[in-house]
């Protein structure tokens, strides 16, 4: 008899999802169904590389489909113990350009997956939310108990809507719904458009980097392994039926400090193309992680410099 838990992971070929799959497959305790549409927001071949090691594993199944597909239920055979929903249209600034698409994928798509979970009697649903929901809230470090959210992008608003959708399903159907607010996750396989990836490649090749504002904006950077540890703990959490939990590092650094640290690790100087602050950017992200520590035994381990060394080793290995 197969005692392995069946896990459905949406967006599993992406940055965070593929690291989660690597971890779970290594335990030999799970059978995983990965749903991904290989969106062309960045090169889909990068995502195919992420999951390539598992394609021929009997405990891994890939379904190429969109989360908004109303016929997705028919493509998902069998029972799932846990759903980890990481698929989404990502990015603050792109959401300002196309808010309708972000609403459709991030809210309607989530609703579709929640409906599938309801029909399949899934008891545990873990949702990838975002620190963007806090917006320009000045009361940092940000606590989950602070309801005075100030989103400044359609992306952030779609994540707030997702949290409330999850609460509704939890109350109506007894589904445990855990929303994890991710704080600027970085590491190997990070999306090419994100600052650490973009800066590292350009500094390495001597190209100018776009440096927005005065360099004093703060970000709470979280290494992907620490984020995955938090997700795995949330998959096992069973003390209540609805929670919103920050997964950050509680150690924000300025944009100037980030660039200096990348320069140090690469042993190269950055060429700065100084520009005004961008629409949708917030001055600070800073997580209060006491709730994650209490409920998930979450304890981020990786310091920024060490995480950047791992990321740069990956960049040099793949050279993509």
What does the alpha-carbon distance between residue 119 and residue 117 come to, in Å, rounded to a whole number?
Answer: 6
What does the alpha-carbon distance between residue 110 and residue 112 come to, in Å, rounded to a whole number?
Answer: 5
- What are the phi and psi torsion angles at 162 (to 5°)? -65, -40
What does the alpha-carbon distance between residue 235 and residue 81 come to, in Å, rounded to a whole number?
Answer: 10
Tell me how many degrees the CA angle 237-239-240 measures, rounded to the nearest 5. 105
Indicate which residue of 155, 186, 221, 298 is catalytic: 155
Tokens of 11: 């967006």
Give residue for tokens 């992008």.
153
30 catalytically annotated: no
Give the CA diameter of the chain: 61
What does the alpha-carbon distance between residue 41 and residue 43 come to, in Å, rounded to a whole number?
Answer: 7
Closest listed residue to residue 62, CA positions, set 34, 37, 87, 31 = 34
Closest listed residue to residue 106, CA positions, set 89, 86, 131 = 89
Kindly list the distances between the CA atom of residue 147 and the CA atoms of 50, 142, 309, in Å, as whole numbers in the listed order: 37, 10, 37
Helix axes 195-205, 304-318, angle to 10 degrees: 60
Overall residue count recorded for the chain in this entry = 320
- Specify the DSSP class assigned to residue 277: P
What does the alpha-carbon distance between residue 231 and residue 235 come to, in Å, rounded to a whole number?
Answer: 6
**Catalytic machinery residues:** 155
């Amino acid at each position: 008899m197969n005692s392995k838990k069946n896990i459905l992971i949406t967006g599993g070929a992406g940055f965070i999802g593929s690291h989660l799959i690597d971890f779970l497959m290594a335990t030999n305790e799970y059978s995983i169904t990965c749903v991904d549409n290989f969106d062309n927001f960045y090169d889909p071949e990068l995502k195919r590389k992420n999951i390539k090691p598992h394609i021929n594993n009997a405990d891994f199944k890939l379904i190429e489909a969109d989360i908004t597909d109303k016929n997705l239920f028919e493509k998902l055979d069998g029972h799932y113990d846990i759903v980890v929903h990481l698929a989404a249209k990502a990015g603050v600034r792109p959401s300002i350009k196309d808010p309708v698409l972000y609403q459709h994928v991030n809210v309607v798509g989530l609703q579709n997956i929640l409906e599938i979970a309801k029909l399949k009697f899934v008891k545990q649903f873990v949702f990838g939310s975002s620190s963007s929901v806090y917006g320009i809230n000045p009361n940092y470090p940000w606590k989950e108990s602070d309801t005075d959210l100030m989103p400044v992008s359609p992306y952030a608003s779609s994540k707030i809507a997702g949290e409330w959708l999850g609460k509704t399903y939890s109350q109506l159907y007894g589904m445990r719904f855990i929303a994890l607010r991710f704080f600027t996750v970085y590491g190997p396989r990070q999306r090419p458009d994100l600052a650490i990836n973009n800066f590292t490649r350009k500094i390495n090749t001597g190209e100018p980097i776009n440096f927005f504002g005065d360099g004093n904006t703060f970000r709470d950077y979280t290494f992907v392994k620490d984020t995955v540890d938090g997700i795995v703990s949330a998959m096992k959490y069973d003390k209540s039926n609805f929670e919103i939990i920050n997964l950050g590092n509680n150690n924000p650094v300025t944009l100037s400090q980030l660039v200096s640290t990348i320069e140090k690790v690469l042993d190269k100087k950055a060429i700065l193309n100084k520009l005004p602050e961008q629409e949708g950017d917030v001055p600070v992200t800073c997580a209060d992680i006491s709730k994650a520590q209490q409920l998930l035994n979450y304890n981020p381990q990786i310091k920024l410099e060490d995480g950047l060394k791992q990321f740069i080793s990956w960049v040099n290995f793949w050279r993509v």
